[in-house]
């Protein structure tokens, strides 16, 4: 499979979350113009994160100690967890009645709390890191990780050639225009483009609005599909310093549709603003920066596939590894993926446990261990050490 196809498959959960499945778009318009147009602009916007000048640079072996499609979590104390749970309960009650609002909270680029399923959490938090966090709003840079397909990604094929133009409104009424010449970029008005850069802006009240979702009163809130419940919800984002709150409001809970969202926002400011300020201040005081979870002497990646959670050495530490070590580790990860796929075909009900230690060209040890749905990858560049040392180092790390 080509590099573009592999990377595009990584983005399909985001496509479905914001725009619906391709099958749903085809049901809405069997001619395929609607689906082709959405795919065209979605892929175009997606590729902007890989642009370096005029070139497109896909992730390389240097990102082998990161895992796309997973979430990195913030470790917090018990007292802090109780305080955050109180905020989450309050956020859930903002919709009123028997309908509960779902929420997801990020501190910096790390997950603090979620009421969503693991797959929905991974999709929404990854989007938050890409476009919603303070770093994403202030930076035009991008970072990507080892190229692997999310297990929840659906198969989407890109139709070659420019699609016919489709006009859309934020309320889902679609109109087609067939005056686009072959080879031209479609002339589009108000097509939802969730990955378009510089569309999210922070208002004076702390709420983020997207210029791509325009309402009668100006920039609005996009609606998303949850994969777990197939429910449609408005995406409402509030940000205070390093804390980003993503509130998901069920469409069914709003009598007047999007016109009722300002009421929900007012309730949040009136009832939760002080809690948010206190939590952000406490998290900031206790946060040790990007090296907070660095384990001295190790360059590692730990992945919990069942929960879509990962933890890894910070990028600055990984960059100290030599090219030979990274190439060897990248190759080892590919072999692990092949072995996992083979094992799944042989016995889908049983996950095979295995481990491997390989000596790289520069005499470094690269290590992989798969056990009970968790994966550990490490690189040790103490060339004088033996295989026994490498195995012991892995066991000591696992115990930690």
Successive 10-residue mean pLDDT values, the chain, 400 residues: 59 90 91 91 86 69 80 92 96 80 95 94 92 84 42 34 35 40 50 87 92 66 86 93 95 84 93 96 89 82 89 88 91 89 76 84 89 88 69 70
Provide the 8-state DSSP code for 290. T
Q: What does the alpha-carbon distance between residue 382 and residue 366 come to, in Å, rounded to a whole number?
A: 11
pTM above 0.85, yes or no: no
Query: What pLDDT shows up at residue 91?
Result: 94
Cα-based distances in Å from 216 to 242, 251, 266: 31, 18, 19
User: Which of 131, 133, 135 shows the shortest CA–CA distance to 244?
Assistant: 133
Map out the domains of the chain as residue ranges: 3-58+155-177, 78-143+199-286, 299-399
Token pair for 161: 């050639």
> So what's the pLDDT on residue 37?
92
What letter would DSSP give residue 199? -
Determine contact, residues 324/360, Cβ cutoff 8 Å: yes
CB atoms within 10 A of CB 257: 12
pLDDT at 316: 87
Token pair in block for residue 39? 């795919």
Query: What's the rounded Cα separation, in Å, for the pair 121 and 129?
Result: 12
> What is the pLDDT, as a whole number, of residue 288?
81
Pick the CATH number of 78-143+199-286 from 1.10.3720, 3.30.40, 3.30.450, 2.170.270: 3.30.450
Question: 299-399 architecture in CATH?
Answer: 2-Layer Sandwich (3.30)
Using only C-alpha atoms, the chain has a radius of gyration, in whole angstroms, of 23
- Cα separation, 355 vs 340, whole angstroms: 12
Residue 365: closest CA among 315, 318, 396, 324: 324
Contact 221, 213 (CB under 8 A): yes
Give the pLDDT score at 297.
79
Q: Is 31 helix (H, G, I), strand (E, B) or coil?
A: coil
Residue 383: predicted pLDDT: 54
Phi, psi of 382 (to 5 degrees): -85, 90
Give the Cα separation of 339 and 344 in Å (integer). 9
Asked if the domains 78-143+199-286 and 299-399 are classified in one and the same CATH topology, the answer is yes
């Amino acid at each position: 499979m080509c590099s573009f196809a592999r990377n595009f498959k990584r983005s399909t959960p985001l496509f479905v979350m914001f725009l619906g499945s391709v099958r749903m778009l085809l049901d809405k318009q069997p001619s395929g113009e609607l689906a082709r147009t959405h795919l065209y602009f979605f892929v175009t916007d997606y590729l902007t994160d890989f642009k370096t000048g005029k070139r497109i640079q896909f992730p390389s072996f240097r990102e082998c100690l990161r895992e796309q499609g997973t979430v990195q979590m913030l470790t917090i104390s018990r007292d802090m967890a109780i305080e955050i749970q109180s905020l989450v309960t309050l956020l859930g009650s903002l919709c009123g009645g028997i309908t509960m609002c779902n929420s997801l909270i990020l501190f910096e680029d790390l997950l603090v709390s979620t009421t969503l399923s693991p797959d929905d959490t991974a999709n929404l938090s990854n989007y938050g890191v890409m476009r919603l966090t303070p770093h994403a709003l202030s930076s035009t840079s991008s970072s990507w990780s080892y190229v692997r397909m999310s297990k929840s990604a659906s198969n989407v094929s890109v139709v070659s050639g420019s699609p016919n133009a489709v006009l859309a409104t934020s309320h889902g009424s679609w109109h087609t225009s067939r005056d686009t010449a072959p080879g031209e970029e479609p002339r589009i008005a108000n097509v939802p483009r969730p990955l378009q850069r510089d569309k999210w802006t922070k208002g004076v009240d702390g709420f983020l609005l997207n210029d791509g979702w325009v309402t009668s009163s100006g920039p609005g809130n996009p609606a998303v599909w949850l994969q777990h419940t197939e429910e449609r919800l408005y995406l409402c984002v509030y940000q205070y310093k390093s804390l980003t709150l993503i509130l998901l409001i069920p469409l069914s809970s709003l009598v007047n549709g999007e016109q009722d969202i300002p009421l929900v926002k007012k309730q949040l400011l009136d009832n939760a603003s002080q809690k948010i300020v206190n939590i952000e201040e406490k998290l900031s005081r206790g946060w040790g920066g990007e090296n907070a979870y660095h384990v001295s002497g190790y360059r590692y990646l730990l992945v919990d596939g069942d929960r879509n959670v990962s933890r890894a050495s910070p990028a600055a530490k990984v960059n100290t590894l030599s090219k030979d070590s990274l190439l060897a580790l990248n190759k080892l990860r590919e072999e692990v993926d092949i072995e996992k796929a083979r094992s799944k075909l042989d016995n889908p009900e049983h996950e095979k446990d295995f481990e491997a230690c390989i000596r790289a060209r520069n005499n470094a040890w690269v290590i992989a261990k798969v056990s009970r749905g968790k994966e550990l990858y490490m690189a040790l560049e103490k060339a004088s050490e033996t295989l026994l040392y490498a195995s012991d180092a892995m066991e000591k790390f696992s115990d930690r």
